[in-house]
Amino acid sequence: MDNLLYLMLLLALGNLSRRLPAFPENTPQVLNQYVIWISFPATVLLKLNGLAFDTRLLVLVLVPWTLLFLSIGAVFLISRALGWDRPLTGAVLLSVALGNTSFFGFPAVAAFWGEQNLKYAILYDQLGSFLAVATFGTIVMSVYGNASRVTLKTVLLRILGFPPFTALVLGIVLSRVPIPATPLLVLRGLAATLIPLVIFSVGAQLRFRQPLSNVGPILITMGLKMVVSPMIAMGLLLLFGISGPVYQVTVFEAAMPSMVMAGILASAGNLRADVANAAIGYGILFSFVTLPFFYWLIR
């Protein structure tokens, strides 16, 4: 609960900063660039270091990627039916596909299911959500955030030039190499700035009073991410006979609100960051209802 209150406080402070002359109008954009070039890569390197994969827990990797591809299909169909433009489609894709499975998910799993089950949440996050940010997130930014013709070469160059993806490749290659004490201290310090700056930036861009045209996309995003996704995860796991803590944690992680990085990526890619950030902010509030419901449903 303390982590959730901390999150809401940072959102409120970021929102308040828009009304203070000490913060320039481009403050969120500056913070976003710092996160993408410094905080996020440092966090990737830290999370992947020492990673050991157990094939018995493959379901914790398959479920988030299955949900990602299903969400792509659902958003495509809805986008075509409702006539959304490319920036809005890209923003909703990011917000539905990327869940807040670490900062929001870890404390939620620990609070509802116990700290002994955090190992399952970490695996779900590292090989599911975290990889999706650096790969799928970059592709969406490239394809939907560019008005000019997008080629495979353009997309590949942007992926390879995206700092978190570079850190991802480096982290996988060096995952079994211990980080020396001094670089480890530096990485920890830089990674510690990720969550406060990201959430503050989202809060600075968040407008709870939304135009009527935004209400539909926001509700669709939250419904797909926080209700439909965990229900699909439940069905898949039950179909394959998965039960116990792995089942509980996987469904719970699937029910997390949109990742705060979705708003950062939407802003950096010139997508509809207003819709993405609103879905994040409202999703955090909505999770106080949905997470207890899914806990009651699957415990």
Q: How far apart are CA 195 and CA 188, in angstroms?
A: 12
Q: For residues 39-46, give the mean pLDDT.
A: 85
Lowest mean pLDDT among 114-118, 170-174, 231-235: 114-118
- CATH, domain range 2-14+35-298: 1.20.1530
The reported pLDDT for the residue numbered 119 is: 76
Q: How far apart are CA 299 and CA 288, in angstroms?
A: 17
Better-scored residue on pLDDT, 1 or 257? 257
Better-scored residue on pLDDT, 37 or 166? 37
Better-scored residue on pLDDT, 51 or 295? 295
Task: Report the residue count for the chain.
Answer: 299
Mean pLDDT of the chain: 85
Chain segment 130-164, per-residue pLDDT in tens:
777 777 887 888 788 765 555 667 667 777 777 87
* pLDDT above 60 for 272: yes
Taken in order 127, 130, 134, 140, the sign of the CA dihedral is positive
Q: How far apart are CA 110 and CA 291, in angstroms?
A: 13
Q: How far apart are CA 162 and CA 165, in angstroms?
A: 5
The reported pLDDT for the residue numbered 234 is: 94
Q: For residues 4-31, give the mean pLDDT.
A: 86
The reported pLDDT for the residue numbered 91 is: 94
The reported pLDDT for the residue numbered 56 is: 57
- Burial label for 295, CB within 10 Å (0-12, 13-18, 19+), is middle
Report which secondary-structure segment, H or E, holds 91.
helix 86-97
Alpha carbons within 13 angstroms on the beta-carbon side of residue 128 total: 30
Better-scored residue on pLDDT, 221 or 110? 221
The reported pLDDT for the residue numbered 22 is: 92
Q: For residues 193-217, give the mean pLDDT.
A: 82
Residue 54 φ then ψ, to 5°? -110, 120
pLDDT over 90 percentage in the chain: 35
Tell me if 141 sits within 8 A of 292, measured CB to CB: no
Residue type, 57: L
Q: For residues 116-128, give the mean pLDDT.
A: 79
Q: How far apart are CA 275 and CA 225, in angstroms?
A: 14
The reported pLDDT for the residue numbered 164 is: 78
Chain segment 281-292, per-residue pLDDT in tens:
889 888 888 998
Tell me if 67 sits within 8 A of 232, measured CB to CB: yes
The reported pLDDT for the residue numbered 52 is: 64
Chain segment 170-195, per-residue pLDDT in tens:
887 888 889 999 999 999 999 888 87
DSSP state of 258: B
The reported pLDDT for the residue numbered 134 is: 72
* The two three-digit tokens of residue 195, written as one number: 């969550």
CA distances from 232 to 7, 25, 149 (A): 27, 41, 35
Q: How far apart are CA 123 and CA 117, in angstroms?
A: 11
Chain segment 60-95, per-residue pLDDT in tens:
888 999 999 999 999 999 999 999 999 999 999 999
